[in-house]
Amino acid sequence: MPAEEKDKVIYVSHSSGASAEIALYGATVTSWKVAGVERLFVSEQAIRDGSKAIRGGIPLVFPIFGTKENIQLPQHGFARNTYWEYVGLITDNDETSVRFTLKDTQLDSKLRNGWPHSFRLTYTVTLGEKSISTVLGLKNEDEDTFEFNTLLHTYFYAPNIADVTVNGLKSLHFIDKVANGAKESESRDQVTVASEVDRIYCDVPDHLQVNFGKEYSISVEKTGLKDTVVWNPWTDKAKAMGDFGDEEYHNMICVEVGSVADWVKLGGGKSWSGGQTLRVL
């Protein structure tokens, strides 16, 4: 799996023809193509100059989800809007991957003061013929325990949102952010989107499937992560976002695996890891 760096983007290709692109800004996966078809959504209005998190692909949410009253960090933390270091190609267990790291010492002082802990994040992206896996590792380099949230904020490209269904969420409890955080339970076998959706499904089984009409499906297999957020801004929120086209909500769905409903506690000197594998079916 060759990889090359150009203008702060890592271009990865697989012998099958599959490809991926990862921006060093946020270690954001901004393209994943299988059989010549783009599977991720990136807004045409996305800002890619490093002044704002990239609107699309797979931004990394860490160490907070949303905003927190007592933590002075931007929405969704700092991982998606900081330049990561490219470590290079890593060969592990007969697989080849590209790896990125982010340490507290790479943060500017404002962000570092907002979350004053010593840590090392490692992000490993592995491209297969029909799959991509993105795995986050974290080492607490402090002596004391710290707590964090994290999320792989995957934006899938959808040929038409009207045809999209998500399987595997039935009977799960969810927090409905559109209804002021009301706690509900999912009654549908297949979740569809026909209005603004912003839900945190809690304690989700590790396997979900997103179907894009008759065209194809993508399985989402997570490890080490408890929850799944489903998000589509729909009409009004789309208009309110400066880096998102007014009509682009027709062509995306975010299905985001993470641990966000509760804090994850990590003891001093300890390591943690969580990730996902997406596979075109």
Ligand X SMILES: O=P(O)(O)OC[C@H]1O[C@@H](O)[C@H](O)[C@@H](O)[C@@H]1O
Contact footprint for ligand X (CB under 6 A): 53, 75-76, 153, 177, 198, 229, 231, 256
Least distance to ligand X from the beta carbon of 229, Å? 5
Token digits of residue 190: 């297949």
CB nearer ligand X, residue 220 or residue 229: 229
- Give buried/exposed letters for 144-180 (b at 16+ CB in 10 A, else e): eebebbbbbbbbbbbeebeebbbbbbeebebbebeee
DSSP SS3 for 40: strand
Catalytic residue among 14, 21, 76, 153: 153
Partner residues linked to 216 by β-bridges: 212
Does residue 141 have an active-site annotation?
A: no
Q: Which two tokens stand for residue 6?
A: 């150009």
Residue closer to ligand X by CB (options 84, 244) is 244
Three-state SS for 281? coil
CB of 75 to ligand X, least distance (A): 4
Give min distance, CB of 93 to ligand X, in A.
32
Which residue do the tokens 């964090």 mark?
148
CB 217 within 8 A of CB 165: no
The separation between CA 239 and the C-alpha centre of its own chain, rounded to angstroms, equals 22
Whichever of 75 and 223 has its CB closer to ligand X, that residue is: 75
Longest Cα–Cα distance of the chain, Å, equals 52
Strand 95-103, strand 182-185: pairing: unpaired
Residue of 247, 229, 231, 230 lying closest to 239 (CA atoms): 247
Q: Output 14 or 76, the one with its CB closest to ligand X.
A: 76
State which residue, 172 or 229, has the beta carbon closest to ligand X.
229
Query: Least distance to ligand X from the beta carbon of 174, Å?
Result: 11
Q: Catalytic: 247?
A: no
Residue 131: C-alpha distances to residues 57, 71, 107, 134, 220 (Å) = 15, 36, 31, 10, 10
Q: Is 75 annotated as a binding residue?
A: yes
| CA nearest neighbour of 266 among 71, 115, 44 | 115
Calpha distance 275→69 (Å, rounded): 27
Q: Binding residue per annotation — 55? A: yes
3-state secondary structure of 253: strand
Q: Is 39 annotated as a binding residue?
A: no
Residue 106 DSSP one-character state: G
Considering the complex, state which of residue 131 and residue 150 has its C-beta at the smaller distance from ligand X.
150
> What residues act catalytically?
153, 256
Residue ranges of the binding site for substrate:
55, 75, 80
